[in-house]
């Protein structure tokens, strides 16, 4: 059993989206390329017979996180002109580290013996009924913890991002040291 | 190369791309995007091992991916709120200019 053509196309689309998101200069283009990568990953999940995970990925990542990133770009754009300095001075070192990590991961995949036997497995039955039963019976405690964590994260995000009340005496400018100046 | 190894290769490439972006970009938003790419690479591994593993009927990797997506959504919301708050404080979202805590 070999890799199929749809898998190759989706993998190339996902990787191209990821590379474009990490190398383009303008932030909005990066966000669009990032949503392409997320959509490609959702299609990969669908290709791997994980329908529910693929649709959740599409809803959460393409629908929510990409939009959130675009809003954050719009909210933090004022002072920054997207100039030449979009990569940090230690960029070469970071790229070398990432290449080394990829080399280690690919070596581990190649030598683990996973790549050689031809796995022939029937597609598992990921019926919605089974998923719902698993979430409600075996994984009900993690589900409740996730619900609590999402509530806490929502409250925390609102508290963090809300605009602080300005002091009437005008001391706000004194409380804002200009960083990087 | 069988499909499992292909998935693992794609996911390690995606992880490396995300790591390179998180290490080299100066915009804090793109650093967060690189972290999201790394999380997604891990999710792809979970799905691949669930699909080609010996016991797919237990749905373990699958349910882990569902929870991981929920945690990533919370992480992105809090992270972007932090970036907006830092931008309001420092008037920049460039991670190499935010040096208040530099020792």
Chain A closest-CA separation from residue B65 CA (Å): 7
Q: Specify the CATH number of the domain A1-78.
A: 1.20.120.1200
Residues B2-21: what's their mean pLDDT? Answer: 93
Q: Specify the CATH number of the domain B3-90.
A: 1.10.287.3510
Residue of B3, B49, B61, B72 to mutate, testing the A interface (most A Cβ within 10 Å of its Cβ): B3
- What pLDDT score was predicted for residue A62? 93
CB contacts of A149 in chain B (<8 Å) are: 70-71, 74
- What pLDDT score was predicted for residue A178? 45
Per the DSSP assignment, residues forming a β-bridge with B94 are B27
Distance of CA B55 to the CA centre of its chain: 27
Contact B35, A65 (CB under 8 A): no
Measured in degrees and rounded to the nearest 5, phi and psi for residue A87 equal -110, 145
Closest CA to B26 of A82, A67, A16: A82
Contact B83, A76 (CB under 8 A): yes
The DSSP output letter for B25 is: B
Measured in degrees and rounded to the nearest 5, phi and psi for residue B54 equal -75, -25
pLDDT in tens, chain A (181 residues): 566 899 999 999 999 999 999 999 889 999 999 999 999 999 999 999 888 999 999 999 999 999 999 999 998 875 555 555 678 777 788 999 999 999 999 999 888 877 666 566 666 666 788 888 989 999 999 999 999 999 999 999 999 888 776 665 544 444 444 444 4
Shortest CA distance from B23: residue in chain A: A94
- What pLDDT score was predicted for residue B102? 81
- What pLDDT score was predicted for residue A117? 66
Contact B26, A86 (CB under 8 A): yes
Ordered by start, the domain boundaries in chain A are 1-78, 128-163
A178 CB burial (10 A radius; 0-12, 13-18, 19+): exposed
The better pLDDT of the pair B96, A28 is held by A28
Structural tokens at position A121: 């497995």
Which residues of A, range 111-140, sit inside 8 Å of B by Cβ?
114-115, 117-119, 121, 123-126, 130-131, 134-135, 139
Neighbouring CB atoms inside 10 A of A120's CB total: 8
- What pLDDT score was predicted for residue A92? 87
Ordered by start, the domain boundaries in chain B are 3-90
**Residue A165 in 3-state DSSP?**
coil
Q: Does B42 touch chain A (CB under 8 A)?
A: no
- What pLDDT score was predicted for residue A119? 60
Closest CA to A114 of B50, B58, B52: B52
Distance of CA B54 to the CA centre of its chain: 27
The DSSP output letter for A124 is: P
- What pLDDT score was predicted for residue A179? 46
- What pLDDT score was predicted for residue A90? 75
- Polymer length of chain A: 181
Task: Tell me how far apart the alpha carbons of residues B12 and B18 are, in angstroms, rounded to a whole number.
Answer: 10
The pLDDT mean for chain B works out to 90
């Amino acid at each position: 059993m070999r890799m199929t053509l749809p898998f190759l196309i989706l993998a190339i689309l996902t990787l191209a989206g990821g590379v474009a998101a990490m190398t383009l200069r303008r932030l909005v283009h990066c966000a669009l390329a990032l949503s392409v990568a997320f959509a490609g990953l959702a299609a990969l999940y669908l290709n791997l017979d994980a329908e529910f995970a693929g649709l959740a990925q599409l809803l959460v990542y393409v629908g929510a996180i990409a939009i959130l990133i675009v809003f954050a770009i719009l909210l933090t754009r004022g002072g920054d002109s997207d100039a030449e300095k979009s990569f940090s001075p230690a960029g070469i070192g970071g790229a070398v580290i990432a290449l080394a990590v990829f080399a280690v991961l690919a070596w581990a995949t190649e030598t683990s013996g996973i790549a050689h036997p031809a796995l022939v497995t029937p597609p598992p039955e990921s019926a919605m009924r089974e998923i719902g039963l698993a979430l409600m019976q075996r994984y009900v405690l993690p589900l409740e913890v996730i619900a609590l964590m999402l509530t806490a994260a929502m409250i925390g995000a609102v508290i963090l991002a809300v605009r602080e009340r300005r002091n009437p005496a005008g001391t706000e400018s004194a409380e804002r040291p200009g960083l990087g100046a | 190369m069988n499909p499992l190894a292909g998935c693992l290769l794609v996911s390690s490439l995606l992880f490396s791309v995300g790591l390179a972006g998180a290490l080299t970009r100066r915009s804090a938003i793109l650093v967060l995007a690189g972290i999201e790419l790394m999380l997604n690479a891990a999710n792809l591994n979970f799905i691949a091992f669930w699909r080609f593993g010996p016991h797919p009927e237990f749905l373990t990797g699958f349910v882990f991916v569902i929870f991981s997506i929920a945690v990533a959504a919370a992480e992105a919301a809090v992270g972007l709120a932090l970036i907006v708050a830092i931008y309001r404080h420092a008037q920049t979202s460039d991670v190499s200019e935010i040096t208040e805590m530099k020792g």
